[in-house]
Amino acid sequence: MKQILWPDHCIQGTQGAEFYPELDIRPIEAIFRKGTDPDIDSYSSFYDNGHRKSTGLTGYLHDKKIGQLYFCGLAADICVYFSIQDALTEGFKCWLIEDATQPLNKEDYKEIKHKLADKGVSFTNSQSIITHYVLPSVVRDR
């Protein structure tokens, strides 16, 4: 399998793989690790690049009866893109939060956005998420 050699990043046990210090991780139920095989890269949150090893995320989400996923993070044209591709294959409805992601290559990203839209991916922004999901739950929980 042809692979691109990337600079080391997000290595387990280093600061680059840690959660942001101010993030409240108490509500987190599970952590799914990717890139654990040094011989094959893992762009997707669901599988390694050869689809030989699953992270377990698909089963977890299906067990929780989750049908739609919202994606953000880095990089839009690589890890986010491959995660969305696998999520679609696994039957999830996908949303991309555009102002919460950045591509490494803006030209590639333009093409990727068209491909994702053609596959039924919806695009949104963080303000829309806050307005439609976060604020109503805050009001409801008062």
The predicted-structure confidence for 57-109, as pLDDT tens digits, reads as follows 999 999 999 999 999 999 999 999 999 999 999 999 999 999 999 999 999 99
In a domain, 6, yes or no: no
In a domain, 94, yes or no: yes
Any bridge partners for residue 102, and if so which? 74
**pLDDT higher than threshold 60 for residue 113:** yes
Look at strands 122-124 and 68-74 and give their pairing: unpaired
User: What is the Cβ-side half-sphere exposure of residue 127, based on CA atoms within 13 angstroms?
Assistant: 1
- Length of the chain, please? 142
CATH of the domain at 60: 3.40.50.850
- Between CA 97 and CA 116 the distance in angstroms is 13
In a domain, 4, yes or no: no
pLDDT band for position 3 (50/70/90)? confident
Q: How many domains does the chain have?
A: 1
Q: Which pLDDT belongs to residue 16?
A: 86
Mean pLDDT, the chain, whole residue set: 92
In a domain, 92, yes or no: yes
Q: Which pLDDT belongs to residue 139?
A: 60
pLDDT band for position 133 (50/70/90)? confident
- Between CA 94 and CA 116 the distance in angstroms is 9
**pLDDT higher than threshold 90 for residue 142:** no
Q: Which pLDDT belongs to residue 37?
A: 87
CA angle (78 as vertex; 77, 80 as ends), nearest 5: 85
pLDDT band for position 50 (50/70/90)? very high
